[in-house]
Amino acid sequence: MAAASCPALLAACLALHLATARGDGCSGFGNLFTEIAENSAHGSLVARLPSPGDAGGGAGLQLCLVGTDAAWFYLDGRSLRLNVSAGRALDREELESPVLMVALTCAEDGSSPVEFRIIVQVLNENDNRPHFQGATVLTHNVSELAPVHSVVFSAQAEDADGDTLMYVIDTASPDARFFRIDLPNSGRVVLARALDFESRRHLEVVVTAVEMNTRERFNASARVRVNVLDGDDQYPQFLPCTPRAPHSPPVCTSPVYTANITEGQLQGGPLSFSPGAVYAEDGDRGLRAAITYSLLAGQESSRFHIDNVTGAITLLRAVESSRQTPEICLSVMASQVNDPSKYAVARALVRVLAPNRHPPRFPRVRYRAFVPAAPRRAALLLTFGGQVLALRAHDPDFPEGLNPHVRYTLSHGANQSQQLFQVMPNGLLVAQADQLRPGQSYRLQVLARDEESGETSNTTVELEVLWPGQAAPRDPSEPPPGRGVPAGAVAGGAGALLLLGAVLLLALLALRARRRRRRQQRTADRAALAIEKHPNVSLRWFQPVQAGKSPPSPPRLYYPNEGYSEVGEAPPPPPPPPPPPPPPPPAPQPPPAPKPQANSVGRPGGSSPGAGSPGGSPPPTPASPGPPRAPSPGEVSGGPAEGGGSPVPGGRRGGTLGVLPALEEVSEESLEEGPGSDPRVPPPLLQLLEDSIEC
Q: pLDDT tens digits for 597-621?
A: 434 333 344 333 333 334 444 444 4
Given a cut of 50, whether residue 689 has pLDDT beyond it is no
The confidence score (pLDDT) of residue 58 equals: 53
Given a cut of 80, whether residue 575 has pLDDT beyond it is no
Let me know: does 36 contact 123? Beta carbons within 8 Å.
Answer: yes
pLDDT tens digits for 383-400? 998 999 999 999 998 888
Q: How confident is the model at residue 20 (pLDDT cuts 50, 70, 90)?
A: very low
User: CA angle, corner 144, sides to 142 and 148, nearest 5?
Assistant: 90
The confidence score (pLDDT) of residue 176 equals: 94
Least confident of 226-230, 366-370, 473-477, 603-607: 603-607
The confidence score (pLDDT) of residue 611 equals: 37
If one compares 502 and 543, the residue with the highest pLDDT of the two is 502
The confidence score (pLDDT) of residue 604 equals: 40
- Residue 311, Cβ density class (10 Å: 0-12 exposed, 13-18 middle, ≥19 buried): buried
If one compares 56 and 512, the residue with the highest pLDDT of the two is 512
Of the candidates 208, 189, 39, 185, the residue with the CA atom closest to the CA atom of residue 130: 208
pLDDT tens digits for 117-149? 889 999 888 888 898 887 778 999 999 999 999
Least confident of 213-217, 369-373, 466-470, 560-564: 560-564
Task: Please list, residue by residue across 323-334, b when 16 or more beta carbons sit within 10 angstroms of its beta carbon and e when fewer do.
Answer: eebeebebebbb
Let me know: does 502 contact 661? Beta carbons within 8 Å.
Answer: no
Average pLDDT over residues 366-383: 91
Given a cut of 50, whether residue 676 has pLDDT beyond it is no
Least confident of 269-283, 396-410, 638-652: 638-652
Q: How confident is the model at residue 552 (pLDDT cuts 50, 70, 90)?
A: low
Given a cut of 70, whether residue 691 has pLDDT beyond it is no
| CA pair distance 421, 461, nearest whole angstrom | 12
Strands 421-423 and 429-432: antiparallel
Given a cut of 70, whether residue 685 has pLDDT beyond it is no
If one compares 657 and 511, the residue with the highest pLDDT of the two is 511
When the pLDDT of each residue in the chain is averaged and rounded to a whole number, the result is: 76
Given a cut of 90, whether residue 3 has pLDDT beyond it is no
Q: How confident is the model at residue 482 (pLDDT cuts 50, 70, 90)?
A: low
If one compares 238 and 10, the residue with the highest pLDDT of the two is 238
Q: How confident is the model at residue 680 (pLDDT cuts 50, 70, 90)?
A: very low
| CA pair distance 641, 393, nearest whole angstrom | 93
Average pLDDT over residues 38-59: 73
- Residue 118, Cβ density class (10 Å: 0-12 exposed, 13-18 middle, ≥19 buried): buried
Given a cut of 90, whether residue 247 has pLDDT beyond it is no
The confidence score (pLDDT) of residue 665 equals: 44
Average pLDDT over residues 583-592: 51
| pLDDT above 90 coverage of the chain, percent | 33
Given a cut of 60, whether residue 13 has pLDDT beyond it is no
The confidence score (pLDDT) of residue 107 equals: 82
Distance of CA 78 to the CA centre of its chain: 102
Average pLDDT over residues 283-309: 92
Average pLDDT over residues 360-372: 93
The confidence score (pLDDT) of residue 326 equals: 92
Given a cut of 80, whether residue 207 has pLDDT beyond it is yes
Average pLDDT over residues 483-502: 74
Let me know: does 132 contact 157? Beta carbons within 8 Å.
Answer: yes
If one compares 545 and 505, the residue with the highest pLDDT of the two is 505
Average pLDDT over residues 489-503: 82
Q: How confident is the model at residue 679 (pLDDT cuts 50, 70, 90)?
A: very low
Q: How confident is the model at residue 277 (pLDDT cuts 50, 70, 90)?
A: very high
Average pLDDT over residues 632-648: 39
The confidence score (pLDDT) of residue 349 equals: 96
Given a cut of 60, whether residue 477 has pLDDT beyond it is yes
Of the candidates 14, 43, 25, 35, the residue with the CA atom closest to the CA atom of residue 117: 14
Given a cut of 90, whether residue 540 has pLDDT beyond it is no
Task: Give the relative orientation of helices 685-694 and 487-533 as an angle to the nearest 10 degrees.
Answer: 30
The confidence score (pLDDT) of residue 585 equals: 54
Let me know: does 283 contact 236? Beta carbons within 8 Å.
Answer: yes
Side chain identity at 588, as an amino acid letter?
P
The confidence score (pLDDT) of residue 52 equals: 58
Task: Please list, residue by residue across 353-369, b when 16 or more beta carbons sit within 10 angstroms of its beta carbon and e when fewer do.
Answer: beebeebbbbeeeebbb
Omega before residue 240 within 30° of 0, cis = yes
Omega before residue 575 within 30° of 0, cis = no
